[in-house]
Amino acid sequence: MHWLLLKIQSTEQQADQLSDALMDLGALSVSIEDAHADTLAEQAIFGEPGDPPPGIWQQNIVTAMLASDADVPALLAAVQAELQLDGLKYQLEQIEEQDWVRATQAQFDPIRVTDTLWIVPSWHQAPNADAINIVLDPGLAFGTGSHPTTHLCLSWLAQLPADLVGNANVLDYGCGSGILAIAAKKLGAATATGVDIDPQAVISSRDNATNNQVNAVFYDSADYLHGQFDIVVANILSSALMVLAPVIAQSCKNGGKVALSGILESQQTMLLTHYAEWFEMDAPIQQEGWVLLTGTKKCL
Ligand SMILES: C[S@@+](CC[C@H](N)C(=O)[O-])C[C@H]1O[C@@H](n2cnc3c(N)ncnc32)[C@H](O)[C@@H]1O
C-alpha cells in the first residue's frame, strides 16, 4: 500500500486556487507551505542552476497526497487547463504506508509569530525554548497559525503593550482550534473565552487548551457569553463579520480593543465603514492579500 506525494511550485497568489483545484480533482489532502520559511528546503526540491532566486517567484509549495493509482499526468493537465498555467514545476514521490505519519508531519514546521511567540507541532522541538510556545497539531478545526488571517491576529496580540493584554478579559469569536484564546492567555490575559458555532471547534479548542495547560473556556453559542470583554478578536469571514458587528460591538467594553480578520483587501472599506459606527478604527494591516482591522470601542 502506498500513496503519491505531489509537490508543485507555485506563486503565493496561485497557491489557494491550485490547492482548491487539486482537491476538486480528487487529492486526498492538500497543504500549502510558505517557502519563505525554508528556502533551503525549497532549493533542495526545485533548485536548478540558472533558476531565479527563491522569493522572486518560488514563493509556495503546494503538496497534494494522491491515491497510488492517480493519473498524475491527466491531473496536472487538468490543473494547468483550469488555472491557465504553463509548465508547472513539480516533484512526485511515492510514500509507503509506514511513512504516512512522517510524511504528514513533515508538512508542518514550527511557525514563528514573533521572536517570543511560536506555534510548535507536538512532534517538533521548540526552536526557542525561552519563547512562549503554543503546542498545536493540525486537527479538525481551523487555526494552526499558518494562515495569514490567524497570523495577523497572533502578531497583533503579541505586540499589544504588556499592561494592556496582561489582566485583560479576551474574547476569541470564531475560535476554531482555540489558538487565539490560548495565545492571549499565554501572553498574560486574565481570562480567555472562545465561542464557535462548530461543536467540533469547541472540542478541539478545549483539547488544545488542556494540552497547553491553559485555563480558557469555550462555548458553542454566543448565548453563553455574559458581560463585556477588554479585547475581542474575531477571525471570521467578512460576511459573518458584517452580520455579527452589533454582537461583537456589544461584547466589547467602552475603550476596549477589537481585531477583525478574515477580510480580503477588496472588502476592507465596507468593514471599516460598518464598524466605525461603534469603534475608532486604525489603519488596516495587510499580509498576503488579507487585512486585519483593529479599533478602539467608542464611549457612546
Ligand atoms: C477562519 S476560522 C478562525 C479560527 C481561529 N480563530 C483562527 O484565528 O485561526 C473561523 C471560525 O469561525 C467559526 N464561525 C463562523 N461563523 C461563526 C459565527 N457566526 N459565530 C461563531 N463562530 C463562527 C467557524 O466555525 C470557524 O471555526
Domains of the chain (ranges, CATH numbers): 2-105 (3.30.70.120), 111-297 (3.40.50.150)
Give the distance (Å) from ligand 1 centre to CA of residue 45: 35
ipTM of model over 0.85 = yes
Q: Is 174 annotated as a binding residue?
A: yes
**Radius of gyration (C-alpha) of the chain in whole angstroms:** 20
Q: Is 295 in the pocket of ligand 1 (CB under 6 A)?
A: no
Residue 96 pLDDT: 77
Q: Is 180 in the pocket of ligand 1 (CB under 6 A)?
A: yes
Cα(145)–Cα(253) distance, rounded to whole angstroms?
27
- Which H or E run contains 113? strand 111-114
Cα(33)–Cα(8) distance, rounded to whole angstroms?
10
Cα(282)–Cα(293) distance, rounded to whole angstroms?
7
Residue 100 pLDDT: 61
Q: Is 235 annotated as a binding residue?
A: yes
Residue 199 pLDDT: 93
Give the distance (Å) from ligand 1 centre to CA of residue 110: 23
Ligand 1 atom, smallest distance to 244 CA: 19
Cα(177)–Cα(113) distance, rounded to whole angstroms?
17
Cα(102)–Cα(93) distance, rounded to whole angstroms?
14
Q: Is 262 in the pocket of ligand 1 (CB under 6 A)?
A: yes
Residue 46 pLDDT: 41
Give the distance (Å) from ligand 1 centre to CA of residue 239: 12
Q: Could you read off the pLDDT of 21-58 as tens digits, one per residue?
A: 999 899 988 888 765 444 333 343 344 434 444 433 44
Q: Is 150 annotated as a binding residue?
A: yes
Whose alpha carbon is nearest atom 12 of ligand 1? 174
Q: Is 236 in the pocket of ligand 1 (CB under 6 A)?
A: yes
Q: Is 179 in the pocket of ligand 1 (CB under 6 A)?
A: yes
Q: Is 254 annotated as a binding residue?
A: no
- Which H or E run contains 67? strand 60-67
| All cell numbers assigned to 140 | 479538525
Q: State phi, psi for 232 to the nearest 5 degrees.
A: -120, 125
Q: Is 195 in the pocket of ligand 1 (CB under 6 A)?
A: yes
Q: Is 148 in the pocket of ligand 1 (CB under 6 A)?
A: no
Best mutation site among 175, 219, 250 for ligand 1 pocket (most ligand atoms within 8 Å of CB): 175
Whether 230 and 171 have beta carbons less than 8 Å apart is answered as no
Q: Is 153 in the pocket of ligand 1 (CB under 6 A)?
A: yes
Q: Is 23 in the pocket of ligand 1 (CB under 6 A)?
A: no
Q: State phi, psi for 108 to the nearest 5 degrees.
A: -120, 110
Residues of the chain with pLDDT under 50: 36-58
